[in-house]
């Protein structure tokens, strides 16, 4: 049986690779029609998709899946509409393929241009968010890439339904359905085999928790773009406006706690501490559990004592670690020790402290007087995203169309030879 599974995974990926040139060389208008057709079919297939999702939800609840993961797994009508609108938005974005990044002419007359081209065949390994199936497909297909998808076992029925819609859209524009291949297996060994497909997959992008990302990096023989966990911080500086701080912290923590750009730690300058009890009271009213340092607990006795592990934890839940620090340097030092390189925010009216925080905090996105919840491809104007890259090579931050391309040099001459 293992031999059959290996052949199946490899053959599916080979089929995607064989189909890829048809997409890579296709005109912009065809790829846009594909995405517009996809959007219409998602809306028309809403009932079938929701029935499949209900099957996954029932299984997940019976197995005791955590509430934040249930939320990620759930596909409401508005989320399906959101996927459809995302596909339409991507269709309306400028085509990155063929764009000239830079160009110059050498003294010998050679004209050199660096132009954008597709990455090729992109593998996605992700967990319980079936919307990733459509988001990744819309962006990758617009950027001329074929896909090999391996979603989480908790979302198998939902992903089958979504891939079926994708394949119908390929038929409508006369492109091969193997451009999007779905590894329809709950067996984790299938992931390992997929990660070993050197020469077939050009890159793998994992989306999920720390365990999935770490295992992908350790096992993969294919290049990996790391989409890291989000241990995000909000630092309330001494000069911060209390109303602004309250609004930003509540949004960053409670607007959608189960996502990677939600705040997990609140840092407060000791000079701002007289306002802290009111802020933490508002967070508790919103259902947030507070785990604080000793100084926090003196000011807000309802807080639980924070353990050393709390400063490094991505809760993905209504839990917030809180620490009082003595300076902007203290906040930056804490972020340097415990941050995951995702998104960090400062709330301040001190321009010099804001610029110091921006300059010294090492993260994919750094905010001044805004919520960390904006680290998102849609919010950045990319239409959608395939993940938030926390590494520094190739791509960093929300990955949109440009980040799903690479470049090649095109050199034009009129007979030049090298002496």
Tell me the CA end-to-end span of the chain in Å, nearest whole number. 59
Average pLDDT over residues 35-43: 98
What is the reported pLDDT for 419?
A: 92
Residue 325, C-beta contacts closer than 8 angstroms, at least 6 positions apart: 235, 267, 268, 269, 270, 331, 334
DSSP state at residue 346: E
* pLDDT tens for each residue of 19-31: 999 999 999 999 9
pLDDT digits (tens, 9 = 90+) for 128-154: 789 999 999 999 999 999 999 999 889
Record the tokens describing residue 317, joined without a space.
Answer: 């839940």
Predicted pLDDT at 387:
87
Number of H helices, E strands in the chain: 14, 16
Model-level pTM?
0.86
| Mean pLDDT on 164-179 | 96
The per-residue pLDDT for range 316-341, each reduced to its tens digit, is 899 999 999 999 999 999 999 999 99
Nearest in space to 312 (alpha carbons), one of 334, 338, 294: 338
pLDDT of residue 258: 83
Residue-level pLDDT at 226? 86
Structure tokens at 278: 């009111």
What residues does each domain of the chain span? Answer: 9-228, 232-374
Q: What is the per-residue pLDDT for 377? A: 85
Percent of the chain with pLDDT over 70: 98
Whether the per-residue pLDDT at 127 is higher than 90: the answer is no
- Evaluate if residue 3 carries a pLDDT over 60: no
CATH code of 232-374, in short, is: 3.40.309.10
pLDDT of residue 134: 94
Which pLDDT value is given to residue 378?
82
Q: 32-41, 162-171, 225-234, 274-283: lowest mean pLDDT where?
A: 225-234
3-state percent breakdown (helix, strand, coil) of the chain, nearest 5: 45, 20, 35
Which pLDDT value is given to residue 394? 87
Question: Per-residue pLDDT for 294 more than 80?
Answer: yes
Structure tokens at 369: 């007087």
Tell whether the model's pLDDT for residue 2 goes beyond 60. no
Model pLDDT, residue 385: 83
Supply the DSSP symbol for 307. Answer: P
Q: Residue 353 pLDDT more than 90?
A: yes
Answer whether residue 1 shows pLDDT above 50: no
The pLDDT-based confidence of 408 (bands split at 50, 70, 90) is very high
Instruction: Tell me how far CA of residue 164 lies from CA of 68, 170, 171, in angstroms.
Output: 27, 10, 11
Percentage of the residues of the chain whose pLDDT score is greater than 90: 86
Tell me the residue ranges of DSSP E strands in 282-339: 289-292, 304-305, 319-325
Contact present, 372 and 256 (Cβ < 8 Å): no
CB atoms within 10 A of CB 22: 15
Q: Quickly state the pLDDT bin for 7 (edges 50, 70, 90).
A: low
What pLDDT, on a 0 to 100 scale, did the predictor assign at position 186?
A: 86
Is residue 270 predicted with pLDDT exceeding 60?
yes
pLDDT 10s digits, 71-99: 889 999 999 999 999 999 999 999 999 99
For tokens 């905010």, the residue is 367
Condensed to tens digits (0 to 9), the pLDDT of residues 219-255 reads 999 999 988 789 999 999 999 999 999 999 999 999 9
Architecture of domain 9-228 in this structure: 3-Layer(aba) Sandwich (3.40)
Report in angstroms the alpha-carbon separations of 246 from 242, 249, 277, 330: 6, 5, 11, 21
Average pLDDT over the chain, rounded to an integer: 94
């Amino acid at each position: 049986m293992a031999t059959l599974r290996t052949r199946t995974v490899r053959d599916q990926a080979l089929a995607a690779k064989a189909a890829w040139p048809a997409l890579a060389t296709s005109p912009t208008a065809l790829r846009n029609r594909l995405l517009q057709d996809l959007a219409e079919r998602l809306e028309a297939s809403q009932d079938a998709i929701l029935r499949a999702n209900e099957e996954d939800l029932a299984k997940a609840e019976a197995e005791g899946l955590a509430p934040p993961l249930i939320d990620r797994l759930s596909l409401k009508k508005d989320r399906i509409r959101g996927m459809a609108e995302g596909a339409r938005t991507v269709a309306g974005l400028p085509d990155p393929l063929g764009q000239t990044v830079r160009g110059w002419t050498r003294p010998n007359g050679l004209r050199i241009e660096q132009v954008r081209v597709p990455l090729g065949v992109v593998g996605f390994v992700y967990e319980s968010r079936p919307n990733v199936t459509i988001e990744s497909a819309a962006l990758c297909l617009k950027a001329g890439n074929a896909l090999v998808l391996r979603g989480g076992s908790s979302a198998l029925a939902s992903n089958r339904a979504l891939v079926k819609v994708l394949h119908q859209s390929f038929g409508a524009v006369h492109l091969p359905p193997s451009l999007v291949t779905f590894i329809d297996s709950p067996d984790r060994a299938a992931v390992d085999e997929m990660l070993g497909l050197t020469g077939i997959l050009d890159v793998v992008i994992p989306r999920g928790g720390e365990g999935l990302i770490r295992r992908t990096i350790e096992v993969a023989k294919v290049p990996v773009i790391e989409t890291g966990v989000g241990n995000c911080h909000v630092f309330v500086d001494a000069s911060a406006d209390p109303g602004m701080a309250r609004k930003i912290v509540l949004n960053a923590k409670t607007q959608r706690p189960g996502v990677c750009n939600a705040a997990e730690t609140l840092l407060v300058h000791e000079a701002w501490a007289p306002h802290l009890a009111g802020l933490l009271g508002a967070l508790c009213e919103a259902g947030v559990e507070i785990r604080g340092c000793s100084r926090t607990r003196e000011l807000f006795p309802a807080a639980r004592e924070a353990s050393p592990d709390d400063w490094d934890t991505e809760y993905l839940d209504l839990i917030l670690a809180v620490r009082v620090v003595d300076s902007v340097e203290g906040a930056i030092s804490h972020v340097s020790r415990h941050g995951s390189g995702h998104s960090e925010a400062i709330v301040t009216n001190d321009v010099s402290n804001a610029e110091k925080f921006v300059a010294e905090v090492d993260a994919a996105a750094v905010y001044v007087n805004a919520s960390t919840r904006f680290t998102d491809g849609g919010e950045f104007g990319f239409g959608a995203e395939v993940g938030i890259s926390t590494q520094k090579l190739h791509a960093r931050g929300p990955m949109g169309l440009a980040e799903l391309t690479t470049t090649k040099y095109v050199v034009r001459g009129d007979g030049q030879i090298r002496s």
